[in-house]
Chain A
Amino acid sequence: NAGVMQNPRHLVRRRGQEARLRCSPMKGHSHVYWYRQLPEEGLKFMVYLQKENIIDESGMPKERFSAEFPKEGPSILRIQQVVRGDSAAYFCASSAQGRSNQPQHFGDGTRLSIL
């Protein structure tokens, strides 16, 4: 399966812990987008990365959240000192080209639950 791979599919953390979500884009894709979906809502853009660069982080909360897409390996969305309000489904999408009319392809998401 050459689709977007996200892991883990489910992640449970206690308040104050760190959550690390991983995303491997489709083969040949070098542009990664992270979105968050709260229950009964649409997906909300968080951050857009190209290899080793953050292109647009306008949707990222100012504190506790960070993202990276290193030269080698998956993209990582990191949430430090998690709170109950961070409980959501986090989706990663990739595209072959950024800034173009090519659809983004999504992974199946990581469902984060905060106890």
Chain B
Amino acid sequence: DQQVKQNSPSLSVQEGRISILNCDYTNSMFDYFLWYKKYPAEGPTFLISISSIKDKNEDGRFTVFLNKSAKHLSLHIVPSQPGDSAVYFCAASASSGTYKYIFGTGTRLKVLA
């Protein structure tokens, strides 16, 4: 039962262009969403989050959009840089629960110089 889905296992983008990573969820109780970046042999690093009371949150080059009716969120990286090459995980949690995170399976982003 995959409650959080990242349907694109990989994505290649040219340096300087926009990277768009997508995530879908099925549980309507989720009200807090996060994106993490992970390099090999390291732990996930928190990037950006969004609460369900918002539809957009921006932090520098990173913007997360939330479409509650579609149960869809996306991460935009503009402009993309080679150092952004990593695996990106979206995660979701429910304030009605214990805030454990449910993770997607990740999207491997490769930014080409």
Contacts and interface: CB of A to CB of B under 8 A. Distances in A.
Interface of A: 4, 6, 33, 35, 40-45, 48, 55-56, 58-59, 91, 93, 95, 98-101, 103-109, 111
B101 A104 contact: yes
A104 B104 CA distance: 16
A91 B45 CA distance: 12
B98 to A, nearest CB: 4
A49 to B, nearest CB: 11
Interface residues of B, number: 26
Interface in B21-48: 32, 34, 36, 41-46
Nearest to B100: A45
Contact of A59 (B42, B44, B45, B100): B100
10 closest Cβ pairs, A-B complex: A106-B43, A42-B103, A56-B98, A45-B100, A103-B46, A42-B105, A43-B103, A108-B43, A106-B44, A101-B32
A82 B104 CA distance: 27
B85 interface: no
